């Protein structure tokens, strides 16, 4: 009976450990958001390539009051869009702030970042949706508003 009890206890502890490794934590979300922020400061594309899912879907809404338009990008198109938005003769990077994050379940969450677009000369709000993909946290969807 004691052997059965200890075996069950050991198996339960392994399942809890495995579950913790595959669920999102605030630290994991913040780390992904920080890489996104660091890209906006340094323009180092490698930072985005690590955290963007291969099938990233991006929706960019520009304008307001019904006079705007919606653009859809894949991963590579969005990276090019960000590079173009950061072009400047005088400096690298832009003003950027990590605003907040929110859990949407134990395997999905979103974070909000605000950055200054040099191309549009205004602040842009970004909602990045992250998921656990295997043991990695990746951005699977982005919604951007200007």
Query: Could you tell me if residue 114 is inside a domain?
Result: yes
pLDDT for 86-145, tens place per residue? 766 666 677 898 899 999 988 899 999 999 887 778 889 999 999 998 888 999 999 999
- Which CATH number characterizes residue 77's domain? 3.10.450.50
Per-residue model confidence (pLDDT) at position 56: 96
Number of domains in the chain: 1
- The answer to whether position 49 is within a domain reads yes
| Domain limits for position 47 | 24-145
**pLDDT score of 134:** 84
pTM of the model: 0.78
Q: Distance between CA atoms of 60 and 71, rounded to whole angstroms?
A: 5
> How many angstroms separate the CA atoms of 24 and 127, rounded?
17
Give per-residue pLDDT as tens, 51-91. 999 999 999 998 766 677 889 999 999 999 888 877 666 66
- Rounded Cα–Cα distance for residues 46 and 56 (Å): 16
Q: Indicate whether 9 belongs to any domain.
A: no
């Amino acid at each position: 009976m004691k052997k059965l009890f200890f075996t069950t206890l050991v198996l339960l502890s392994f399942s809890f450990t495995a579950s913790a490794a595959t669920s999102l934590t605030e630290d994991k979300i913040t780390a992904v958001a920080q890489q996104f922020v660091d890209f906006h400061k340094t323009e180092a594309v490698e930072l985005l390539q690590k955290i963007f899912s291969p099938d990233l879907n991006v929706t960019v809404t520009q304008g307001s009051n019904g006079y705007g338009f919606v653009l859809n990008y894949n991963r590579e198109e969005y990276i090019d869009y960000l590079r173009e938005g950061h072009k400047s003769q005088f400096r690298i990077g832009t003003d950027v702030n990590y605003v907040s994050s929110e859990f949407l379940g134990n395997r999905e969450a979103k974070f909000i970042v605000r950055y200054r677009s040099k191309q549009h000369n205004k602040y842009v709000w970004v909602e990045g949706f992250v998921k656990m993909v295997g043991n990695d946290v990746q951005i699977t969807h982005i919604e951007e508003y200007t």
